Amino acid sequence: MPSPSSPPRAHGPTTSREQPPSIRRAPPSRCSRVNCRPADSAAPDQLPSGNMIVCVAVVGHQNNPLYLQSFTEADDALKLHHVVHCSLDVIDERVNNPKRSAPTLNETFLGLLYPTENYKVYGYLTNTKVKFLMVTTDLDVKDADARNFFRKFHAAYVDAVSNPFHVPGKKIASRSFGARVSTIVKSFGSGTVG
């Protein structure tokens, strides 16, 4: 039954219909008002729809999970982790057979990895072979937004691993990293526009 995933799906298209790209590029004051209203007025039940990213992950160079966090109220964490897990194979494939993605050769941003009916998975692979993954329910994400998100996410990661108490290759336990990531996730699709 697709019951856990249907609420965000139902909200996703409606919000995107309310804000077509032309309106998103409207003057900042109007833009922010449009985006803020759902979060301010009806926060409890509309939170999942404003929060278009449902899961983020950082995976080390040996495919060891460094950070895995889902942002849904529904009990579908396992499903999201499965989606993340499957996407790792797609990254491996992209990197080892670069012919198929010739224009984006060696770029850190890998683009859309793995579209399913409910989710889209975007990937990012750093020079140090650390993989960043983002699962979103928004089915029309702009590449620039995703890129921007990963840039901030990567910056947060770099700051977290620069902590002398962080052990390389171990899970990131830093609470401030978690807080920073959830801020970035929340700003995705609202703060980044305009």
Per-residue DSSP letter, 45: H
- Provide the minimum distance between the beta carbon of 18 and another protein in the complex, in angstroms, as a whole number: 35
- Provide the minimum distance between the beta carbon of 174 and another protein in the complex, in angstroms, as a whole number: 14
- Both tokens of 169, joined, read 């290759």
Q: Which is nearer to another protein, 158 or 179 (CB)?
A: 158
Q: Which is nearer to another protein, 108 or 182 (CB)?
A: 108
Q: Cα-Cα-Cα-Cα dihedral of 125, 162, 180, 10, to 10°?
A: 20
- Provide the minimum distance between the beta carbon of 113 and another protein in the complex, in angstroms, as a whole number: 16
> Which residues fall within 8 angstroms of residue 181, CB to CB, at 6 or more apart?
56, 67, 69, 153, 156
Q: Which is nearer to another protein, 52 or 133 (CB)?
A: 133
CB 41 within 8 A of CB 49: no
Rounded distance, CA 67 to CA 157, Å? 10
Q: Which is nearer to another protein, 45 or 92 (CB)?
A: 92
Measured over the CA atoms of residue 85, residue 56, residue 121 and residue 167, the dihedral's sign is negative
Instruction: Return residues touching another protein (CB under 8 A).
Output: 61, 105-108, 125-130, 154-155, 157-158, 161-162, 164, 168
- Provide the minimum distance between the beta carbon of 125 and another protein in the complex, in angstroms, as a whole number: 7
